[in-house]
Structure 1
């Protein structure tokens, strides 16, 4: 694959970039706090959907422009580098909309536009106290009853549960066979009797709220089932796969930012003992980008993408190394601007190895599903 976009992809990337720059520079879109200004971030999501740049590969008029996968990758990278606002309810277009579109009934697919545009928020019922990153170990159960299911269990680290209209819930519907084959997906309104939401208090400023969600004798109809019964693992994997590129792209941009801080620090105060470490992190950043391109090439060619699953692990751990190196290069007397950027980057990099599957679980996934190692 050429490491530069084709003329057509370069043209659509330029068009998308021009739209984003115009949006960010408009007087009505200025903000003093891009991280915590939810109104600003929500306005971006609506406008990007309406303009067709929210998910460029989606059809025209449905949040996209119908571009190919290569053009979409270039646009995502360009938007991340230009500082596109973080979506306030990222799992909406990132996971839920794809799940509803791919597996939903006509009634369920009717939610897609509002979810993707951000008109309503949905939460994901995945992580549990005993199954944080290991979805197959979940204990929340959905038992068949007359006309539907009864759900009992607990979810944790559920983003935006208190502000969501619905939950895309994963629960165990069978105990026999491999654990991942007995899971089903459900569309559950959060106002359903028996659901209790308890916010989790966090230290420091937070841009999203985590919650515990308890399900006690929650009754849902047969129509709440999303996709075939016992096929929730497939729903989860195919839906989560749509955000795979965005995860490593965002990490790559964070690594590039840390490397720039390191470069500035070493130019102002040369530290020969850090130069080789800096070169190694720069090389890892290039490797992340090239591996992402290889994964895309595999998907375009119809081959199994064995590359992209490596990048969540590799990019998050490289981001941690990059910010730790930048901190050492800058020193304790770093300017306030640099110190603030380093602190924000370090916090984000530490969390990145936990959310979306811890590094330990990612290593298991790589070993078992890519390398074919025994459990």
Structure 2
């Protein structure tokens, strides 16, 4: 029996995705179509394959700030209800085609109001799209409403997330460049969410170091960490491979705080130099609550299956490892415990067991 999972088989595995940006996963042809329909100008090309390659090349800069500029085009064409519904529906379809059975896809409502849509209209359009795209496809899609850390609308977005939490909004997030914009700037929003018993994650430890992670957890009370790769800075590894955890790293591991890691994206933004050197290898060995995610499927030209396949090739992971990552993600989802348990025991474990047996 060959325990080395191959990409085709990985695609059939029931997977879970916690960190995926709606505006980072558009189909290239959809961008071209929407640009033509909405009058958006400025695309570098109107050939779908050339556009796909341009996004990947532009994102391979090693700079988070440069990486974020590629979103000017995707956000630019997502300014009408029709565009938002289409993009969300296609997102659900693409994830289902990759074998994802549960996903939390995030977006920033405040970035989609330039043509007059209200925040509520933006949210309902995306929710309608997810519902349409997931219909009959064996996938459940929730969304996270994201506030931009360099803006001052986090309380407004937090209230929006609470208002729609019973109809598809799973939680709240903040995103954007970390340096100079600490999460504590949005403390009132996080305190409000805690009072409302709402879930939230915070981008931390990607473009900035341990202080960003510490603030996200100890000041803001984050349920999960978006990326969190710089937690590695609080771990010392001896020549014999033994590891000594600092107090923050030990706290993150002891409290089972989920790390939403996105290996390919992390390489693009300079958070790691190579996949072999990516902290995910050590953190998995030390049994942190590691999850594997896509971040931006268009910019990274990736999928959950491709991320898993790359980890298999780099670290020699087998089906048990991939199941471990997947169960970690499902345990960490922002849906009720009974729903998580039903997916783990009724879908994920049986699905992986079948694939392992077939191998």
Output the TM-score relative to the length of structure 1. 0.28
Q: Which fold has the larger relative contact order, with Cα–Cα distance below 8 Å and residues 6 or more apart in sequence? A: 2
TM-score, with structure 2 as normaliser: 0.29
